[in-house]
Amino acid sequence: MIWNTKDITLFFQEQKYIDTAVVPLLPVSFGDQAKQEADQAEFIPLVTALLEKQFKGRMMLLPPFTYFSNESTDLKLQRMKQWSETLKEKGFEHVFLITSDPFWREVEKEISADLIWLPSIPMEHMDGKYKQKIIEDQVSQLLKIVVGKWQTN
């Protein structure tokens, strides 16, 4: 399911089947990192869109969690914890955070959600077919991780 009018209606009808939330984490800044962060903003949504396509009936893909990368660590963490806790309260048993920002790897243990870190691949000079192939490869790895998590409980 995607966060849109059509799917949200279906979500409320079939809520008992949807136990997984997916949140892309995207940093924004206008410094040295701007280009890499823009790359991530291109790459991560492609990955999460394909993931959602595969597992549409069991996961809700939320709008990205965005932040300025120079926000303080505490503030970012606090907001992130609030997101993951709220989602758990709302009945999402599994919460997957998908990002390419290395910041989250350092604080992974403090968040009560499954963080999946992917190395960002610059899509700038890739043609369509090749881009699609790369995304499919990445997502096939992700599918295994998600199914693995579903099977553990």
Six-digit token string for 51? 């993931």
Least Cβ distance, residue 7 to other proteins (angstroms): 9
Distance CA 17, CA 52 (A): 15
| Under rule CB under 8 A, residue 65 binds other proteins | no
CB nearer to other proteins: give 81 or 131.
131
CB nearer to other proteins: give 41 or 111.
41
Q: Where do runs of H (alpha helix) occur along the chain?
A: 5-13, 34-54, 73-89, 103-106, 128-152
Question: Per-residue x/- marks for other proteins, 100-139, CB under 8 A?
Answer: ----------------------------x---x-------
Which distant-in-sequence residues (6+ apart) come within 8 Å of 123 by Cβ? 39, 42, 43, 46, 131
Least Cβ distance, residue 138 to other proteins (angstroms): 15
CB nearer to other proteins: give 17 or 125.
17
Q: Does residue 118 contact residue 99 with C-beta atoms inside 8 Å? A: yes
Residues in the site for other proteins, rule: CB under 8 A? 10, 14, 17-18, 53-58, 128, 132, 143, 147, 150
